C-alpha cells in the first residue's frame, strides 16, 4: 500500500516536471512517505529525516516534505515539526492527491506548514502514478479498515473502509493491460470487505470475476484477506478464474484462540485451520502465505507453542513474522501483561527458524516441477533472469533480459537453500 502511494507521489512530481534525482544531495524536493505500523518504522523514518538537517542548512531551497501514516497519528505532526523544524511540508494520508497544490503553496509563499485532513471521505483519487514495478502493477480496490484489531494503528490513520467502484477498478486494470502490464495486484487492508459500502452490492469474488473478464494475457493477485471472511465463494472464484493466481495471503496472526480473542480478530485457531484446509481442498496447488505476530500482551509460553504447532501443521508457503510493537492509541497498548522484550526475541527466533525449515522443504519439493514464470528482472553480474511463479516464488534462469514481461514454462532444476533455479522449456 505504501509502495503504491510512493508511486503516486512520484507520478504527481513527474507531472509537475520533476525528474528522479540521483541522491538526496542533488534533489530539489525530498518526500518521505512514512509508515507507523511498528515502532521501528517510525524510528527509521525519524533517523532518515534527522540525517538531512545539515543538507537543509547548507541549501535552504531544498524542500523536505513528510507524509504517510506516521504524520496522521494524533498530535504526531506537531511533535515532528518540533523535533525537526526544518521540515517544509507535513501532510496526512488523506492529503496525498493534493500534493501538487501543497508543493506549489510552499514554492509560492516560502512558508512551512502542516496539512492533515481528518476526513477520509474528502480524500481524492490520485490521477498520476509513476509505475516502478513493470511488468507488475498495484491497484487499490479500497482504502481504510473497519476491523480494529486491538494491536493495529491502521484504522486510526487510514480511516473507515471506502471501496472504489468496480468500474473504476476495471478501467484502471484495462488501461494497465493495454500498456503491457502482465501482473495486477489488487490492494486492500481487507479485500474481503470490498463492496460492503457500495450499492448495488458486490463482493470481492464478484470483482475478481469482472477483472478476470478483461481481455489480454495477465495475472491477477490480491492482498490481504482476513481469515474471518474467506469463504467458499471466494475459493471457487479463485479456482474458476483462469487469470487469478492460486495464491492467498492469509494472515493468521496467532495460533492461540485466547490471543486471537484479545486481538479482536473474531476467529479461533481452529477456524483459520479449517479455512486453510478448505482453500487447499478447493483451489488446486494453492499457495498459502501468512503474517504471524509474537509477543502480544498476555501471550504465554503455552499460547506461543500453539502458534508454533499451528505453523508446523499449516505448512505455509511463506510467512512474514513480526514482534508485537505497542502503538499509542490502540487497545493492546493499554493491556496489562506486556511481554518482556527478551522473551519476544526468543520467540521470534524460534518461529523464524521453524518457518525457514518449512520454506526449505517447499523449495526442495519444488525441484522437478514445471511452473509458469513471469520474468521481471535481470542481474547483469551473474547473467540471471528472475521471475515469479503463480505462488509468487522467485525462480532464476540463465537467459538474456529480453524475456522481461513474458510468461514462460520453466522446469525447476535446482534448489540452493530457498533459491530456486530452472530451465525454460
Residues binding ligand SAH (CB under 6 A): 37-38, 151-152, 154, 189-190, 224, 226, 251, 253, 291, 293, 322, 324-325, 327
When asked if residue 163 is in the footprint of ligand SF4 (CB under 6 A), the reply is no
Q: How far is the CB of 86 from ligand SF4 (least distance, A)?
A: 32
When asked if residue 149 is in the footprint of ligand SF4 (CB under 6 A), the reply is yes
CA–CA distance, 149 with 253 (Å, rounded to integer): 10
- 327 binds, options ligand SAH, ligand SF4, none, Cβ within 5 to 8 A by partner type: ligand SAH
Judged by beta carbon, residue 13 or residue 230, the one nearer ligand SF4 is: 230
Q: Which residues pair with 410 in a beta bridge?
A: 371, 424
Q: Where are the alpha helices (DSSP H) in 59-188?
A: 69-72, 76-83, 99-109, 154-158, 166-178
Q: How far is the CB of 147 from ligand SAH (least distance, A)?
A: 7
- 321 binds, options ligand SAH, ligand SF4, none, Cβ within 5 to 8 A by partner type: none
- 148 binds, options ligand SAH, ligand SF4, none, Cβ within 5 to 8 A by partner type: ligand SF4
The distance from CA 179 to its chain's CA centroid, rounded to whole angstroms, is 23
Judged by beta carbon, residue 98 or residue 303, the one nearer ligand SAH is: 303
- 324 binds, options ligand SAH, ligand SF4, none, Cβ within 5 to 8 A by partner type: ligand SAH
When asked if residue 293 is in the footprint of ligand SF4 (CB under 6 A), the reply is no
Query: C-alpha angle with apex 34: 294 to 85, nearest 5 degrees?
Result: 125
When asked if residue 190 is in the footprint of ligand SF4 (CB under 6 A), the reply is yes
What cell does 387 get? 521471475
Touching ligand SF4, residues 208-237 (CB under 6 A): 226
Pairing of strands 384-388, 318-323: unpaired
E strand or H helix that includes residue 212? helix 204-212
Binding part of the chain for ligand SF4, among 146-154, 198-206, 302-310, 402-410 by CB under 6 A, reads 146-154
Neighbours of 168 (CB within 10 A): 14
CA nearest neighbour of 377 among 132, 97, 198: 132
From 148, 175, 349, 383, residue interacting with ligand SF4 (rule: CB under 6 A): 148
Judged by beta carbon, residue 224 or residue 386, the one nearer ligand SF4 is: 224
68: CB partners within 8 A, 6+ apart: 2, 5, 32, 33, 34, 35, 36, 45, 93
From 80, 102, 152, 220, residue interacting with ligand SF4 (rule: CB under 6 A): 152
From 154, 244, 279, 339, residue interacting with ligand SF4 (rule: CB under 6 A): 154
What cell does 123 get? 480524500
The phi and psi torsions of 282 (rounded to 5 degrees) equal -95, -45
Amino acid at each position: 500500500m505504501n509502495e503504491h502511494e510512493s508511486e503516486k507521489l512520484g507520478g504527481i512530481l513527474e507531472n509537475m516536471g520533476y525528474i528522479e534525482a540521483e541522491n538526496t544531495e542533488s534533489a530539489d524536493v525530498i518526500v518521505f512517505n512514512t509508515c507507523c505500523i511498528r515502532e521501528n518504522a517510525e524510528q527509521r523514518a525519524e533517523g532518515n529525516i534527522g540525517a538531512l538537517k545539515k543538507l537543509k542548512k547548507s541549501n535552504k531551497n531544498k524542500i523536505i516534505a513528510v507524509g504517510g501514516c506516521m504524520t496522521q497519528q494524533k498530535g504526531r505532526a506537531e511533535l515532528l515539526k518540533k523535533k525537526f523544524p526544518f521540515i517544509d511540508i507535513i501532510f496526512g494520508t488523506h492529503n496525498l492527491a493534493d500534493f501538487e497544490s501543497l508543493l506549489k503553496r510552499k514554492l509560492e509563499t516560502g512558508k512551512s506548514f502542516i496539512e492533515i485532513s481528518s476526513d477520509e471521505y474528502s480524500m481524492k483519487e490520485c490521477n498520476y502514478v509513476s509505475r516502478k514495478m513493470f511488468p507488475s502493477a498495484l491497484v487499490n480496490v479500497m482504502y481504510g479498515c473497519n476491523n480494529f484489531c486491538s494491536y493495529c494503528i491502521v484504522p486510526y490513520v487510514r480511516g473507515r473502509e471506502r471501496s472504489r467502484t468496480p468500474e473504476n477498478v476495471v478501467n484502471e486494470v484495462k488501461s494497465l493491460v493495454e500498456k503491457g502490464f502482465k501482473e495486477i495486484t489488487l490492494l486492500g487492508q481487507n479485500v474481503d470487505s470490498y463492496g460492503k459500502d457500495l450499492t448495488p452490492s458486490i463482493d470481492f469474488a464478484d470483482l475478481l470475476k469482472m477483472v478476470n473478464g478483461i481481455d489480454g494475457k495477465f495475472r491477477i493477485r490480491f492482498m490481504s484477506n482476513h481469515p474471518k471472511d474467506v469463504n467458499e465463494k471466494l475459493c471457487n472464484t479463485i479456482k474458476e478464474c483462469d487469470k487469478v493466481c492460486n495464491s492467498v495471503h492469509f494472515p493468521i496472526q496467532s495460533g492461540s484462540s485466547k490471543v486471537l480473542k484479545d486481538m479482536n480478530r473474531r476467529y479461533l485457531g481452529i477456524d483459520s485451520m479449517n479455512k486453510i484446509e478448505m482453500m487447499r481442498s478447493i483451489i488446486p496447488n494453492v499457495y498459502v502465505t501468512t503474517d504471524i505476530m509474537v509477543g502480544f500482551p498476555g501471550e504465554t509460553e503455552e499460547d506461543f507453542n500453539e502458534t508454533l504447532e499451528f505453523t508446523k501443521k499449516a505448512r505455509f508457503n511463506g510467512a512474514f513474522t513480526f514482534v508485537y510493537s505497542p502503538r499509542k492509541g490502540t487497545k493492546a497498548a493499554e493491556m496489562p501483561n506486556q511481554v518482556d522484550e527478551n522473551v519476544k526475541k526468543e520467540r521470534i527466533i524460534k518461529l523464524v527458524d521453524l518457518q525457514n525449515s518449512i520454506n526449505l522443504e517447499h523449495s526442495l519439493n519444488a525441484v522437478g516441477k514445471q511452473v509458469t514464470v513471469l520474468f521481471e528482472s535481470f542481474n547483469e553480474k551473474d547473467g540471471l533472469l528472475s521471475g515469479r511463479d503463480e505462488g509468487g516464488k522467485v525462480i532464476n534462469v540463465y537467459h538474456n533480459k529480453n524475456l522481461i514481461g513474458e510468461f514462460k514454462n520453466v522446469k525447476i532444476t535446482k534448489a540452493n537453500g530457498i533459491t530456486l533455479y530452472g530451465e525454460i522449456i
